[in-house]
Structure 1
Amino acid sequence: MFEQGEYGGVRAAAGRSVRTRLWDRVAASDPGLLRLVAGLRTVGAIALALAVLALLGSDVTHLVAGAMAAMVATFAIREKLRGPQAVTLALGLPVALASVSLAALLASRVLLGDVFFVVLIFCAVYGRRFGDRGTALGLIGFQLYFVSLFVGASVSDLPELYRAVAVAFGCSALVRFAIVPATPTGILQRLRQAFRARMAQLLSSQSELLATDPDGLGKVLEDMREGTARLHETALMIQSRLDEGSFDAATTRSVQRRVAEAEIAVERLGLLLLTARSARRADTLTLHLPGAPTPSLGGLPGTDEAVELLRRDLSALRELVLRPPAEARGTALSHLRNRLLGYRDEENLPPASAAVQDVFRSVGETARAVMGLRIALDGPQDETDDSPATARSREELDTEDAAIEAGEEAEPEAEPSGLRRPTTRAAVQVAIGSSLAIVGGELLSAQRWYWAVLTCWIVFLNTASTGEILVKGYRRLLGTVFGVVAGIGLAGLVGQHTWTAFGLVLLLIFAMFYTAPLSYTLMSFFVTAMLGLLYTLLHTYSMSVLLLRVEETALGAACGVVAAALVLPVHTDRRTNELLDTVLERLLDVTEGAVDQLSGGHAVDLLDRARDLDQAVGDLRSATQPLTHPITPLRTRRDTARYVVALLETCAYHARSLAATAELLPAHPSIAADPRLRGAVRRTVRNIEALAARVADRHAGAEVETGPSIASLLEYDAHGAPRYGRVTDRVLRHLERLDEAVAGLARPLGVPVAAPKR
């Protein structure tokens, strides 16, 4: 009866259609379908432009120019709202026409043309300081100048070229706004589905932990680390797009809170599962540091019935996560939800060890977080079959939402001026690097020198230090070498079949845009293979041309690295130190603000602070890529960088958990302020300040303090009763782990550790 009643719903749910399961996998692999939309838009715009130009009788040269212009007009637009996108696209057309005109007019005046190209490059990079529109217009101007050089346009070709560019922009607009539209609300809807799918994948990895043996633990932990990181990535994507939707301020903050709660709840569930199977409490660092030592595993303590029940409850929780609201109605699923939420009450816990009961409580808290996320995103839910525990959870969620107020506007940070401004510095660097690339490129080839300039330009995009430029140049060169081999094979395959070649070009362009956020090397591979086909279409293909492409790419990358290293350089150490200082500053803001609120202080906008902290950690992780790259010869430095980033991710998780708990304080009936928490966090705050002082000045005399563990505050009194309530106990646990992680940063950052004070 029990199997068919409550858990029969899970078995029925297992019969979800193959199409639904496949869609969940796609949503999880491509959050918001952003890569798919980018690829479809670009390919659609190119295909439509080719069709229109073919009907107009354009020759192959202008078909290639129109295809490349359509690609640029599509990927250059970065605004997220449709109105600004339309304005930028409209402004881009005259910029594109002016760019191809000047390229054609200056084609016969080599020196003047080279000087103008360098000035254009400077202006295009400098335009980034004006936001997405400035970036897009600069990109259009540079790329269309390159297109004109690529097809060898002359003044007599300009009327046909104008027509090809105008058709390309018109087709790009039609595909963007009519054929493959993407509204902020629709993207947010798909991101929500991706969050749900990735959360379910993480729960599946966690459930494998129940039965895995010690030999298989490494694989399960790796899956959990990857799942945790992917879920966090999706949470940040949702939070970054909330302001662009149609939500009001209160709803935006409600969604922001519920997403954070769900992410924290499922990560904590994984930690408690690992703790229940370990000989001691699991270290949070295990879920953030690849290759971290695996804990010693034992059997899950408790009866077989409790273990089996936990396994089925995790499966039920995963099903509740996956089910969209339209499919989540029904008595069986309602009973599952009620049962899971009942674990939040002490009397509903099954007989088991304390560690296993903690896991059951966490299952209940995760179910509550899932219900809160559903209410925030999908509106009120069916309350017909609510149990008392479910009704109580709804009341708590309603009270919390009623207490939400719009946060204050953050003051914009002061930007550096002059050559200290990143856009100005990058513009000077890329202009000088491009000048070197032009000189060297023309020595290699008087006709195709612009490949070196293009590579020099590209390695500066989205990079901020010499190390990042070096790694990007290496990846581009590697992708180009393999792309040349593929281009040779494809060119021989298609021969003179024009439309077959165009069809393969479209496939390669889609692959280029779909893989761009995942692997720069793969993207470069598809670009180079595509160019081999374009040269075939223009009847300029030869082995020497593709080999020249490799030489020009290597030269352009080298010129970019030289310019970055010698002209207003930003060394990787300096860049990472600046970002590390930002992370520590924001960690201090979140920790102090959360503990002050939990101690009875005034309320502040903690979730926005936590999001800023997460963003700062993400920026630092990206900036350390040159240090953590697999080919780096500095193995010790690579391991140190990975360890520091993993410790900071651990700190961010505990700070985010403290912030989420503090946000509940004004409305949650079971959470009361505890002034004693201020004393528990003093040492941690001083240690964060000491780390920040040492990062800012290597000669600073700051030291990290050690002392009694915060866990000592959790001991039972003489009568065997806990000194704090369960919520305060959890807060202190987070403070303890945060304190340990902060102290752990002392050794890799070279900060002295003071002897414990008596």
Structure 2
Amino acid sequence: MKAAGRSVRARLRDRLAASDPGLLRLTAGLRTVGAVALTLAVLAPAGSDITHLVAGAMAAMVATFSIRERRRDAQAVTLAVGLPVALVSVSLGAVLSARVVVGDVFFVVLIFCAVYGRRFGDRGTALGLIGFQVYFLSLFVGASASGLPELWAALTVAFACSALVRFAVVPVTPTGTLARLRQAFRARLGRLVSAYLALLDAGPDEVDKALEDVREGNARLHETALMIQSRLEEGTPDESSARLVQRRIADAEIAAERLGLLLLSARSAERADTLTLHLPGAPAPEVGRLPGPDESTAVLRRDLLALRALVVRAGPGGTGVAQLRNRLLGYRDEENLPAATPAVRDVFRAVGETARAVMGLRVALEGPQDESDDSPATARSREELDAEDAAIDAGEEEEPAERRKGLQRPTTRAAAQVAVGSTLAIAGGELLSTDRWYWAVLTCWIVFINTASTGEILVKGYRRLLGTVFGVVAGIVLAGLVGPHTWTAFALVLVLIFTMFYTAPLSYTLMSFFVTAMLGLLYTLLHTYSWEVLVLRVEETALGAACGVVAAALVLPVRTDRRTDELLVTVLERLAEVTEAAVGQLSGGPAGDLLDKARRLDQALGDLRSATQPLTHPVTPLRARRTNARYVVALLETCAYHARSLAATAELLPTHPSIAADPRLRGAAGRTVRNIVTIADRVADEDVTAPVGTGPSIASLLGGDGTTRYGRVTDRVLRHLERLDEAVVGLARPLGVPVTAPDR
């Protein structure tokens, strides 16, 4: 019974880790709810009235979510500086509330400064948020100069409670966050292997659903890998350890994706395209039963189950786990491969490579493992991993990014845009209501947060308005149910705050829904609730979103096309950089910092994916444009996968006797790099007319002298180069770049 209970707890823990990597959303929700609850617990016995309870709760929420720095000492400094900023802001809000014109002008100046402060990093962003949100708080509770001492006390208690919850009740350290993210990576890798099992057994009518689950699993695994990479510097003791973890995460991700591609190819009538794993909604290739005897299918199903057990099981695991590992790693040395077609045997080899990557991941995350039950194949894999670990060094320093100046600086441009939009929102909001006009300003402010183009602002404004409309309905229902019961209302407010922060990274519409429902309860507590107030909330929200869009379109506009083109050029430049460096090293050139180059490529691709959301949103009327944007992003993800694989293989050169430099590669792959640069130049400058070139396959360019590839270059390197070359040529058509073939 105890073992069964532990098994259930382990499954629940893995499920939670997979759904919330690093428990970042859970931590944010618990911290905010804890700070608000503790603030109420301190203020209520002290005799604070409802207005000051609401003000303290809102201040605790602001003090908690505004601070995003990762180091605890930096968080403490920002929190300490944030308190006087909050006190000054609430004081000015109370004093200027009776001076309409002066108050409105100051509010616009405050908004400009708060957005401009983002250029100073996380601390500038946090202090700007605190200043703006606390000024808004003073308007919301109707602060006056005579009531300032009580408000100061409520804010001081709120900041103190926020600090206590942050550093004592729900402490979070970079090391702990990274450990939970690594657990999430393993949990999501286990889920991806489960998706492969479903793909193996899927019938003709089920394969599309199984393939969609595989796509989602790959995307979530890659998302977790990027989250780990962004926290390695703070969460590891030294740079060498950070690079080791980064290398093992990359190896596991590449091996898992390759396993899925080979499995799909084995079930297909023809070779499956890598693009199939990255393009949402792409039809699955025609599939049938796995070719070969049924015994090989049963063995493959057994080995995928064993691989999943190796992934998700923590700790030493005992003799049983060692036997599973030894059997799977034997496939790397061609041991015990079942009688089957070459495509199916490739899947078994991929299972062995994935098991090897999982073993390397366990060594990097958990330290040395028990080697007493190792088979010769496992011992050889350990020797390879040890040699790779010894070869990892500090690498090169990252080049500083180019900085824009003046109005071209994103923070300056956004500050000017939001100031103009807020001015319009104040003017329009005053016409709708002289008491609630600040809701329009809040919406205008929010739609500019984490957005960089007019299209992104439009989509965010639409989502906020949609969430607000449904939230008004929920607020009406909750306010009717709560009635005069104050503490019941506060309890529901805490629940809504938790759900608001827990769902914020998943859906901005859901977050807006919970915010609006919570505001309905706060209005009930302040005895200002009415149907008209909530309807006015919708009107002010729509007005604020419209003002934000107008300001973004007219004041120093950044069109979505321009934004996506800039990011596309960056992705192509980094793709060319990774490819050229990897091929250069595979050709015998000097070793370079390939892992960091691949990480910068992934980051650039993530930025592009976010920027294309206005183009790929379901409500966009430009269907052909949406399809084109999705296709381009999927092709780039395919290119990035092959470039990462080449980089990972190139880094094996010093330690693997089966992979040696081949000088012919540089010339054979030169066409691919030139094509990438050509496409980047064409996107950056429409006057460029140079075409993308095609020609013989990469393998044929290496020459047909019959020289064995063993000890020169592996077939896998050739496959990645050829697929990358095909994907780059495929990019030319949707981007309008001419393609020419060489003369016969």
TM-score tier by shorter-chain length is: over 0.9
Deviation string 1:461-504 (CA, Å, 9 cap, x unpaired) is 00000000000000000000000000000000000100000000
Q: Which residue does 1:520 correspond to in 2? A: 508
Q: Which residue does 1:370 correspond to in 2? A: 358
Q: Of the candidates 82, 87, 91, which is equivalent to residue 81 of structure 2? A: 91
Deviation string 1:612-633 (CA, Å, 9 cap, x unpaired) is 1011111101001001110111
Contact 1:484 1:529 survives alignment (8 Å): yes
Counterparts of 2:448 and 2:291, CA distance in 1: 55
Q: Which residue does 1:204 correspond to in 2? A: 194
Deviation string 1:431-468 (CA, Å, 9 cap, x unpaired) is 01000000100111111100000000000000000000
> Is the alpha carbon distance of 1:588 and 1:225 closer, same or farther for their aligned partners in structure 2, counting shifts above 3 Å?
same
Contact 2:661 2:712 survives alignment (8 Å): no
> Is the alpha carbon distance of 1:726 and 1:646 closer, same or farther for their aligned partners in structure 2, counting shifts above 3 Å?
farther
Q: Of the candidates 330, 353, 369, which is equivalent to residue 342 of structure 1? A: 330
Q: Does 1:583 align with 2:581?
A: no
Q: Which residue does 1:747 correspond to in 2? A: 733
Residue identity matched to 2:13? W
**How far off its partner does 1:554 sit?**
0.4
Counterparts of 2:702 and 2:373, CA distance in 1: 39
Q: Which residue does 1:452 correspond to in 2? A: 440
Q: Of the candidates 396, 411, 420, which is equivalent to residue 423 of structure 1? A: 411
Residue identity matched to 2:93? A
**How far off its partner does 1:409 sit?**
1.4
> Is the alpha carbon distance of 1:275 and 1:13 closer, same or farther for their aligned partners in structure 2, counting shifts above 3 Å?
farther
Deviation string 1:331-377 (CA, Å, 9 cap, x unpaired) is 11101101111110024322221111111111111011001011111
Deviation string 1:218-266 (CA, Å, 9 cap, x unpaired) is 0000000000000000011111100001321111111100000000000
Give runs of aligned pairs for residues 101-500 of structure 1, distance below 5 A: 101-325=91-315, 328-500=316-488
Residue identity matched to 2:657? P
Counterparts of 1:667 and 1:174, CA distance in 2: 50
Q: Which residue does 1:4 correspond to in 2? A: none
Contact 1:709 1:736 survives alignment (8 Å): yes
Give the secondary-structure state (helix, strand or coil) at the position aligned to 1:745.
Answer: helix
Q: Which residue does 1:709 correspond to in 2? A: 697
Contact 2:208 2:283 survives alignment (8 Å): no
> Is the alpha carbon distance of 1:298 and 1:13 closer, same or farther for their aligned partners in structure 2, counting shifts above 3 Å?
farther
Q: Which residue does 1:8 correspond to in 2? A: none
Counterparts of 1:574 and 1:499, CA distance in 2: 51
Residue identity matched to 1:475? R
Contact 1:607 1:660 survives alignment (8 Å): yes
Residue identity matched to 1:755? A
Structure 2, unaligned runs of 5 or more = none
Structure 1, unaligned runs of 5 or more = 1-11
Give the secondary-structure state (helix, strand or coil) at the position aligned to 1:525.
Answer: helix
**How far off its partner does 1:725 sit?**
5.8
Counterparts of 1:117 and 1:380, CA distance in 2: 59
**How far off its partner does 1:715 sit?**
9.8
Q: Of the candidates 716, 720, 735, which is equivalent to residue 730 of structure 1? A: 716
> Is the alpha carbon distance of 1:712 and 1:86 closer, same or farther for their aligned partners in structure 2, counting shifts above 3 Å?
same
Over the residues paired in the alignment, what is the CA RMSD in angstroms? 1.5
Which one is further off, 238-247 or 257-266?
Answer: 238-247
Counterparts of 2:445 and 2:645, CA distance in 1: 42
Contact 1:714 1:729 survives alignment (8 Å): no
Residue identity matched to 1:209? L
Residue identity matched to 2:269? A
Residue identity matched to 2:449? L
Q: Which residue does 2:44 correspond to in 1? A: 54
Counterparts of 2:339 and 2:140, CA distance in 1: 74
Q: Which residue does 2:687 correspond to in 1? A: 699
Contact 1:77 1:85 survives alignment (8 Å): yes
Contact 1:717 1:723 survives alignment (8 Å): no
Counterparts of 2:411 and 2:654, CA distance in 1: 43
Which one is further off, 746-755 or 420-429?
Answer: 746-755
Give the secondary-structure state (helix, strand or coil) at the position aligned to 2:138.
Answer: helix
**How far off its partner does 1:202 sit?**
0.4
Q: Of the candidates 636, 649, 661, which is equivalent to residue 649 of structure 2? A: 661
**How far off its partner does 1:680 sit?**
2.0
Give the secondary-structure state (helix, strand or coil) at the position aligned to 2:201.
Answer: coil
Counterparts of 1:668 and 1:493, CA distance in 2: 69
Contact 2:662 2:713 survives alignment (8 Å): no
**How far off its partner does 1:378 sit?**
1.0
Which one is further off, 290-299 or 584-593?
Answer: 290-299
**How far off its partner does 1:302 sit?**
1.9
**How far off its partner does 1:756 sit?**
2.9
Counterparts of 2:442 and 2:61, CA distance in 1: 16
**How far off its partner does 1:304 sit?**
1.8
Give the secondary-structure state (helix, strand or coil) at the position aligned to 1:630.
Answer: coil
Contact 2:443 2:541 survives alignment (8 Å): yes
Q: Does 1:687 align with 2:675?
A: yes
Deviation string 1:271-296 (CA, Å, 9 cap, x unpaired) is 00011111121100000001113211
Task: Give the TM-score taking structure 2 as reference length.
Answer: 0.98
Q: Does 1:79 align with 2:69?
A: yes
